[in-house]
Amino acid sequence: METWQKWLVGVLASITILIGLGVIYQMNKEQEQGIATAFVGKNGYLYEISSNRGIDVNKTLDFEAPYPEQMEFSIPSGIPSSEIKGAWSINKGVVSDYLSNPNFGGGR
């Protein structure tokens, strides 16, 4: 894994759920947002994450990975706000404009 990677994460409601759901890896922007938005549903948030701590679940679990189609990454100990580049709010299926995180400090 490179030292700096970008992921989009679809989250249903809380930041706690963020750790285990739908991290999208190395796709074009339209594919990333489309797949991640499916995890969010009609209401929620779509976060853009920059971290070098992600663990590729499919690579780690190989044939034991329960949902390989989700292309999931897990980030141990959660995701600090300094690794969240920004987010989109999704309300009734409509994706808002991108909101940058002023506390973003780059991938560490």
pLDDT at 42 over 70: yes
Q: What pLDDT is attached to residue 23?
A: 44
pLDDT class for 13, splitting at 50, 70, 90? very low
Q: Is 22 helix (H, G, I), strand (E, B) or coil?
A: coil
* E-strand stretches of the chain: 5-11, 23-25, 44-51, 55-56, 73-74, 84-91, 94-95, 99-100
Measured over the CA atoms of residue 35, residue 26, residue 47 and residue 57, the dihedral's sign is positive
Q: Is 32 helix (H, G, I), strand (E, B) or coil?
A: helix
pLDDT > 90 in the chain, percent: 2
What domains does the chain contain, in order, with CATH numbers? 5-100 (3.90.210.10)
- Residue-wise pLDDT for 82-102, tens only, equals 888 888 888 888 888 888 999
pTM over 0.85: no
